Each structure stands twice: as C-alpha cells, then as structure tokens.
Structure 1
Amino acid sequence: MSTEVELKLRLPPSQVRRLQTHPVLSEISPQKYRLLNTYYDTPELDLRRRGIALRLRRKDQAVWLMTVKGGDSGAGGLAQRSEWEAPTQPGVFDFTIVTDQDLREFLELHHSRLQAVFSTDFTRTAWTLNRAGALIELALDRGKINTLAVGDGRASVSEPLCEVELELVKGESLGVLFDLAMELAADIHLHPEILSKAERGYVLADGACAEPVKAIASQVIKSMSPVEAFRSIALSCLVQLQRNEAGAIFENNPEYVHQARMAIRRLRSAFNLFSPVLAPAFVEDFSPRWRELAEGLGIASDWDVFLTQTLAPLEEAFPEDADLVVLRAKGEMRMAQAQASAGTVLTHKAYSQLLLAFSAALFRVEPPTNEARNKLSGLSLRKFARRRLQKRAEMIEGLVREHGKMNTERRHELRIAFKKLHYALEFFTPVLPRKRLTAYLTSVTVIQDLLGKLNDQVAASRLIKELHPKGERDSLTQGWIAGRTQLLVKSLGSELRRFVAGIKPWR
C-alpha cells in the first residue's frame, strides 16, 4: 500500500496555454500519454458509500492497471488517500493486493456484482520538478468524464475535465505542494478542487448536484494540543464550505449559500475561540478576509429568511392581501439577484487564492512565541476548553443582567455571544462530559433560536424599507413584526433565567 498525497486544482481551459508556458515549467520536458479509466461499483453503489474508488486503467493502449483508493479529497484541494495499484488484464480484479483485511474482504464480497458506472478519458501532460528536496509531479489532465448508458433507457452524458494535480512523489513536507500551487496561482486561476475524478463521476451519473452539506461533527480528540484542535476544526469548516460551492454557484436553492455561509461563520468563531494560542499575524491576515467573504454571501441568506420565515406566515394568515403579493414579487426578485451575486463571489480568483493560502497556512500553523500565549497552548485540550467556555459563559451572564432594558444593539451582542458559545460547545464536544452537555446545549440552542428570530424581525423591517422606501403599504407587515417581537422577548426572558441557573457541563 502507498499513501497518495496530492493537491488537486481546477483549471479554466482558457488558461491551459498560460500554464504550459509558465516560467516554472519552461525548462522541463514533459511526458504526454492518454489514460482511459473505467470505474466500477455495485448496482447499489456500496463502494461509493464506503468512500472507495475502484478503477481499471489503460495507459496508451498498452498497459492495464487496477487501482483501489480509499478516502475522500480533503479541504483546500489536498488529498491524502490510501492507494493499492498493480498490473492487471481487462475485466480482471485481483484484490489480494489490498493489505487492509476488512477492505479486501468487503471488495471480495461484492466482486461478482461489480459493474461499470462511469469512465474518464483524458490526456495527461506531466512535468517532474525538484523543489526544496522534494520530488513533485505536476500533471495537466484534459479530457472528459463519461457516464455509461443504463438499462432504463438513459443515454450516456459527459462533462469536460481540465485540472492540475500536484503529487508529492518524494518528500514529507506538504508545504512544497502549496508553495508551488500559490506560485502558479499568482498568474493563473487555479481553484482547489474538493471532488476527486471518481466523486465527479458519481455526481454526473446521479444526474443531480449533491445535497447541501451541513456542519461536520467535531473530530478533535483529547490528545490534541489546542493548535492541533484548531487545525482540525478549521479544515472541517473548509470541507463544508467547498462541498456547497457547486450548489451555490449552479443551483437555484438558497440552502447551498446558507450552508456555505454557516461554514465561514463557524470558521470565524474558531478564530475567535482559539486566538489566544494562534500567532497574531495569522489571525490578522486571514480573519478579515473570511469576514469579507461571509458578507458577500449574507445578503442572499437575509432575503431567504425574509421570504420563508417572515412573509410566508403572513401570507398564510392574510391570503387575500394585495400588498403581500407585491412584497413577495419584489422580494423574490431581490432574492434571485442576491443568490446570483453570492454564487459569483465563489467563482472569483480572490476566493480561490484565499482557499489555497489559508490551507497552506493551516498546515504550518504553530503556537505563538509570546510567553503568555505559549502557556495556554501548552495546556491540555480539556483544560483549554474549560477556560475558554467559562470566559464565554461569564460574558453572556454579564449581558443577561441587562436583559430587561436591552435595546436592539445589545440584544444583537447577546445573540452573537450565544452563537459563539454554541459553536464552542460543538467544537469541544468530544472532550466534555456528555451527561451534562446535552441539557446545556439544548438550552443554548433554544435561546440562540429565539435571538435569531428576533434578529430576523429586525432584518425583515430593514428589507421591507428597501422594498417600500417611503413606508407605503407596510402597516400590516410592521404590525406583525412588532407583535412577533414582543412575544419573542417575553419567551426569551424565561429561557435566559433557566440558562443562568443551569449547571455548566465543563465544571
């Protein structure tokens, strides 16, 4: 078994020539060959569900190889997967090469039911580079991904393939891959690709974009340092963000944009939570850039909430109101515009460069040199979690004391504080006592939901003023919003008292 380490990057076809003539490659003679690959699975796609890719490859009409790969592509385009490969003959699968016993038995169990699902046909142009003691293969792949005709009458379909793979052939430092990628990306629009060729083939065979992806459960473990925990959490946020990219760009479903925005919110919350153990320069460089990106996606989410959470119940209560019909039409038009704008943001070169630069920095992030910060970074993850959660709880309790006389701005601060506490609890869940955590997290969730709905009322008022700038024809909606706000504030008060009296799970 070998471990494949590669950085996968999407390349616009219009920029192929710029890559081929880039100074980095100018004095290197490339190899060029054609690769035809057929991917196999069971009719129920058992291999896909297990994250396994099985292919037969023919190289230049002569050599046949069987390959088994395990694991998905990672965040920022970086993939580190187990791989087994050996010569074979057409249609022959020999799983004795798989050294993972469970996986080998799984493949042998399904051997008789394997069938071709899709194929790729591309020309690979490969350059070999020596960089900082590491050997890297830069491969430019151009061709097509093709589905296969099936028994229910569906014809085969295809989509173009144009991507760059940077594979670490020899060496251990991931940094050299990112350094090379960023050097190329300064002149060429290279975008980190979250989907492997196999995953893209499955999506094409499905005939539909993957469902919106929600936050991934925290993978931190007790033995991690605080810095290592931050890296794990940040990478999971990037995975969620990138898994929603295609839907946000191409699909008419606001949930993709919402989940992409949620990923960035969680990432920004992680920055804040772990800031005492991160180098200030790292935080100062990347935190504002993620905030700017989040703002570019936020408008679409605001309009979606207005249409589904504020306007929809009004329409149900007053189905004959003509003003609501006008609001719906104008709101949907603004929503479509905001959705298109959000998708466009994710196609910009600046976003691609941010993903690359941040992913590279994550794999290099180290504890800061400041002595006080070093003391915190030296704590066990559980002790670090307790300190940070306690600080967040104390901040909230200070704000709760003002609840009876809170204005909109202070209530917004309380909402943000609860949101940060909620994310922190989710991040640290694996190292907290589970018995007390469930009830506490439920209380936080209820309050966060109430505060979110209150914020939605404020946002709805602002959006209505945009649609009716002179205030005409909005008395019904503004009255509805005022009534909803009063009910929510009353419910919030009792939930806050219950929360303050609760037992903190980290004590």
Structure 2
Amino acid sequence: MALPGVQAEPQAEAATAGPALALEFALDPEAAARLPRHPAIAASRGGRSRGAAANLIWLDTADGALAVAGLAIEESQRGQRQVLRVMPAPDQPWVPGTPPALLETAPPPAGHVVPIAAFSGRRAAMRLATPEGPVQAVLLAGKLRAVADERPVARLLLQGEPGAVLGLAGRLAADLPLLPPHAALAEEGRALARGEAPRPRRRGPPDLAGAATVELALLAAIGHLLEVMLVQAPACRLGAGPEGVHQMRVGLRRLRSVLKVFRPAAGGPALQHFDAGLKALADRLGPARDWDVFLGGLGAQLAEAMPGERRIASLLKAAEARRQAAYVALRAALDGPAFRTLVLEGLGLLLRRPWRAAQPDAPEEAERLARLDEKLPDFAAALLDKRWHKLCAEGEDIETHSAEALHEVRLEAKRLRYPTELFAPLWPGKATRRFQRRLAALQEALGLANDTAVARSLVASLGGAVPAWAVGAAEGFATARSGAARSQALEAWAELMDAGPSWEGG
C-alpha cells in the first residue's frame, strides 16, 4: 500500500527489522513546506531527496457506481490505470492512516468512465535513518482540482518497521499538524467535485459481528473509534453547530468504555496511559457540550417563556460567552500536540498490541492472555450479565430513590448501555433492539435529571455576572423539569424490567 501514484521503494535494511508498515498522514501545505527542514527529518536523511512532478486523475462511471462500491480508478501521468479501494469494507478491521489498497483483481466498471477530480503537484522521496530504524518518507504536495473548485493538499507516507514509523511520526507531530487523514485523496477529490464533505470511513458504534475472538474485537473497536474521533475533530469549532462536539464526545465515551470492557483480557501501562489521555480530552469536551445543552435546552425555554426580558437576555449572553470560551479552549487542545500524540498512541496499541508483552509464566497473566483468544460471545455474555445484575441491584426500590441514588442508577445504566450497544451485533433480532431502546430510554430520562443538575451548576457558576433574579428564574425552570424527568425515569425502569436481557445467558 502507498500514496496514490507512489511506489514506495523497498528497503533491504527493513527486512531484518520487522514487518513493513505504511502509514499516511495529512498536513497543511505550510507545514509540508517546512517538513524537509524539520530536525527529525534533517538529522536522519541519508542523502538528497528525489523530487518529481506528480499528476493524477481519478475516474468513475457517470452514475458514480465505483464510488458507491468504495472504489476509484486512478490514472497516472503516464496513462497507467489502477483500481483503489478508498473506502474500507465496513466489516474489516481498520487502522487509521492506512493508505488506499490496490486491487489487483478488481472487476472492470460496467460502463464508460469519466474524470472526476485530479491532483497536480510534486513528489519528494527521502531515505531516513531514524534511531528506531530506516524509514522511507514520501511527501506529496500540490493542488486537488475539480471542474468548479480547487484547494491545496499535502500527504506524507512513512514506510518501515512499526517502531520506526511511529517514532518518527511522534517527533514530527510534536511540532507539525500531522494526523492520519480522514479521507483518501481520491475520496476528497470526489467530494470536492460534488461540493460535499468526504464520506467518513467509520461512523457510529463499531460492528463486532465478524470478530471471532476477544482480541480481534478489541482491535476492531479501537481502530473504528479512533477513526470516528478523527472525522469529528474538525467539526468541533465555533460556527459548526453542536453536532461535532456531541459526536466526538460520544465516540470518546465509547472508546473509553471499550478499554474498560476488555480490561479483563487486555491491560497494562500503555492502555492506562492512553485512557488517561482520553479522559483529559473528555475534560475539554465537557464544558463545550454542557453549555451547548444548556443553551439549546433550558436556555431556549427561558427565552421562549420570557421574550424581551432583559435579565434573562443578560443570563443567556453570559452563557454564550462561556460557551464560546469553552470552544476556543477545546479547539486549541485539538489543534495542539497532545491530541496528535493521543492518536499516535492509539495507533501504537493497534500495531504493537502491548497487552501481549506480559509475563506468561505468572498464573494471573497466563489466564488473562488466554482470554484474548476466548470466543467473543462467551466473553460478552459474561460481562453483560455482571453489569445487568449491578444495574438491577442499584435500581431496587427505585420509587424511593433520592436524586443522588437516581444518579447512581444512571451511571450503572450508562455502564451497561455502551457494552450492550457494542455487543448487540452478536445477538441480532427484535429482542436485542427492544432491550436497547428501553435501556436508552432509561438513561435518557435519568440523563434529563442530570442535565437539570448540570444546568443549575452552570447558572450558579455565572455568579455576579448576571442578575440574581435571572439565576432564580433559571433554577425554578430547572426544578420543574426535574420532576417530570423523575416520572419518565420510573416509567422507563418498569419497561426495561419487563423486557429483560436479550443476550444468551442473560
């Protein structure tokens, strides 16, 4: 696998260093111009880079049949054509940064093909001797063109032993905006031609139906959710609406849940460090999402109930200022080196599998390692049983629960909901869908009560910045909402108990 139009050169030295790895990264044109002078590159170069013009054309049938199948025909400046898979199959494991795969036995398209988009620019190849081993670096920089639009693009391909590739990528990402691209160049060209956003390679929860073992499921889930985070990160900015932050936060929560779910089989310092980085990012996402929910919920209700009331307008203005500040802080975090390092840590988990580095002669470690090869349905059913019983115990006599006790029920419902969603493809059918709907209804009803508590806290945090009357009015609205939320939660609990678990053994 390689960048479009790029044949990565073989490295004799790498043959003894370990399996070859190719990873593709996107960076902005200004950073691409600085790349050859970066200390990590300059100190490792084994000679002058070799540059050449690079011109590519991507083709499809008039009705876009190849794009629908996740494919594209790429034509080099010499007229040679090849078929690329630009959208990975949904049931296949995915490692972010994997270049498009060349299909050697692809069927010919049914119908005449026409140009969709093109790239023109320069290709520069560099042989690097990094501290971890040799790396072949290929930089592609130029313009992506369609009939009605064009924009600058740059891609960097790194090929070598995984430790060498990840080590070099980490040093570059410390200073440069270097991340795996969330779309192949051919897909970006198609989207540019159509005036739309590139299709995400992964979205929503991972589908683990095809994962035979616990370890394969863990790898599939991490790769899927890392890609989701990469897709959503650019949308977490002011002016883009609340959906990007919401989906980014959901994806991050799913990923943290995956790490907890599979902890009995895969643990260790690397996973703990990665989870700590995810938590730090969650702490940045939280304020932006909380203010979005407040302004779109309780804040909107206040404005509708009391139009023209200056004290309410003052409260909402102060809340909007806090929301904007939270977004600015979040954007700075996502544009900074910590997020890039976090993504590379995730790639390291996928490529190195550090949970396999334990000492197998220790009885507890031998048992844990054996669980990696356990059949996924057996592992999933045992875990879901355990969490279901915890939820039932926490919700016993729920009618008498205080607000604090209901909050604990909400947390247990959330701890069950994410793995239930994760493992749902193992038990497809109406019973599973019904259980998921009722569990989601319970969590949402309990979440409404929690949102009310958060809203009170947010309003209180505004302090003297808003009139006390407006604070009191907001708290009154919040209190009224909490009563309705409690009734909904009790009803949702009863319906969930009637449904019962849907997995085998539950």
> Structure 1 length as normaliser, TM-score?
0.83
Do 2:58 and 2:116's aligned partners in 1 also have CA atoms closer than 8 Å?
yes
Residue by residue over 1:391-422, the C-alpha shift from the partner in whole angstroms, topping out at 9 and shown as x without a partner, is: 11121112112634544444333222212211
1:31 paired to 2:50: yes
**Cα distance, 1:302 vs structure 2:** 0.8
2:424 to 423, 429, 443: 429
Alignment-derived partner of residue 100 in structure 1: 106
Q: RMSD over aligned Cα, in angstroms?
A: 3.1
Tell me the secondary structure at the aligned position of residue 137 of structure 1.
Answer: strand
Measure the CA separation in 2 of the matches of 1:250 and 1:145: 26
Do 2:41 and 2:128's aligned partners in 1 also have CA atoms closer than 8 Å?
no
1:464 paired to 2:459: yes
**Residue 296 to residue 307, structure 1, CA distance change in 2 (3 Å):** same
**Residue 268 to residue 446, structure 1, CA distance change in 2 (3 Å):** same
Do 1:249 and 1:346's aligned partners in 2 also have CA atoms closer than 8 Å?
no
In the TM superposition, what are the counterparts of 1:51-450 in structure 2 within 5 Å? 51-58=70-77, 63-72=78-87, 77-79=96-98, 81-84=100-103, 99-101=105-107, 104=108, 107=109, 109-111=110-112, 114-128=113-127, 137-149=136-148, 157-167=149-159, 174=162, 176-185=164-173, 188-209=176-197, 215-221=203-209, 224-249=212-237, 252-365=240-353, 366-367=355-356, 369=360, 370-401=365-396, 403-432=398-427, 434-450=429-445
Higher mean displacement: 397-406 or 271-280 = 397-406
**Residue 317 to residue 21, structure 1, CA distance change in 2 (3 Å):** closer
Alignment-derived partner of residue 87 in structure 1: none
AA paired with 1:389?
Answer: L
**Cα distance, 1:503 vs structure 2:** 2.4
Do 2:252 and 2:282's aligned partners in 1 also have CA atoms closer than 8 Å?
yes
**Residue 160 to residue 100, structure 1, CA distance change in 2 (3 Å):** closer
Measure the CA separation in 1 of the matches of 2:397 and 2:184: 52
Tell me the secondary structure at the aligned position of residue 194 of structure 1.
Answer: coil
Measure the CA separation in 1 of the matches of 2:279 and 2:410: 17
AA paired with 1:473?
Answer: A
Alignment-derived partner of residue 473 in structure 2: 476
**Residue 44 to residue 24, structure 1, CA distance change in 2 (3 Å):** farther
Measure the CA separation in 2 of the matches of 1:272 and 1:384: 13
**Cα distance, 1:378 vs structure 2:** 4.1
AA paired with 1:309?
Answer: G
The number of residues matched between the two structures is 472
Q: Which runs of 5+ in 1 are unaligned?
A: 85-97, 150-156
**Cα distance, 1:188 vs structure 2:** 4.8
Residue by residue over 1:158-195, the C-alpha shift from the partner in whole angstroms, topping out at 9 and shown as x without a partner, is: 22223311246xxxx65553344235445655322222
Measure the CA separation in 2 of the matches of 1:139 and 1:222: 34
Measure the CA separation in 2 of the matches of 1:211 and 1:36: 24
Alignment-derived partner of residue 153 in structure 1: none
Tell me the secondary structure at the aligned position of residue 335 of structure 2.
Answer: coil
Measure the CA separation in 2 of the matches of 1:362 and 1:21: 24
Do 2:298 and 2:455's aligned partners in 1 also have CA atoms closer than 8 Å?
yes
Residue by residue over 1:109-136, the C-alpha shift from the partner in whole angstroms, topping out at 9 and shown as x without a partner, is: 232xx33332211111102458899985
Measure the CA separation in 1 of the matches of 2:395 and 2:75: 62
Measure the CA separation in 1 of the matches of 2:237 and 2:307: 33
**Residue 385 to residue 21, structure 1, CA distance change in 2 (3 Å):** closer
**Cα distance, 1:270 vs structure 2:** 0.7
**Cα distance, 1:241 vs structure 2:** 0.9
**Cα distance, 1:81 vs structure 2:** 3.6
**Residue 332 to residue 209, structure 1, CA distance change in 2 (3 Å):** farther
> Structure 2 length as normaliser, TM-score?
0.84
Do 1:212 and 1:255's aligned partners in 2 also have CA atoms closer than 8 Å?
no
AA paired with 2:156?
Answer: V
Measure the CA separation in 2 of the matches of 1:483 and 1:383: 45
Measure the CA separation in 2 of the matches of 1:381 and 1:34: 49
**Cα distance, 1:431 vs structure 2:** 1.6
Measure the CA separation in 1 of the matches of 2:179 and 2:463: 41
Tell me the secondary structure at the aligned position of residue 346 of structure 1.
Answer: helix
Measure the CA separation in 1 of the matches of 2:199 and 2:98: 22
**Cα distance, 1:234 vs structure 2:** 1.3
Alignment-derived partner of residue 27 in structure 2: 11
1:455 paired to 2:450: yes
Q: Which runs of 5+ in 2 are unaligned?
A: 5-20
**Cα distance, 1:25 vs structure 2:** 3.3
AA paired with 1:10?
Answer: A
**Cα distance, 1:383 vs structure 2:** 0.8
**Residue 21 to residue 260, structure 1, CA distance change in 2 (3 Å):** closer
Measure the CA separation in 1 of the matches of 2:40 and 2:433: 58
Measure the CA separation in 2 of the matches of 1:484 and 1:302: 17
**Cα distance, 1:259 vs structure 2:** 0.8
Measure the CA separation in 2 of the matches of 1:194 and 1:329: 35
* Identical aligned residues as a percent: 23
**Residue 163 to residue 210, structure 1, CA distance change in 2 (3 Å):** closer
Residue by residue over 1:469-495, the C-alpha shift from the partner in whole angstroms, topping out at 9 and shown as x without a partner, is: 473323332222111101111221232
**Residue 6 to residue 251, structure 1, CA distance change in 2 (3 Å):** farther
Tell me the secondary structure at the aligned position of residue 74 of structure 2.
Answer: strand
**Residue 43 to residue 320, structure 1, CA distance change in 2 (3 Å):** farther
Do 1:10 and 1:191's aligned partners in 2 also have CA atoms closer than 8 Å?
yes
Measure the CA separation in 1 of the matches of 2:259 and 2:437: 24
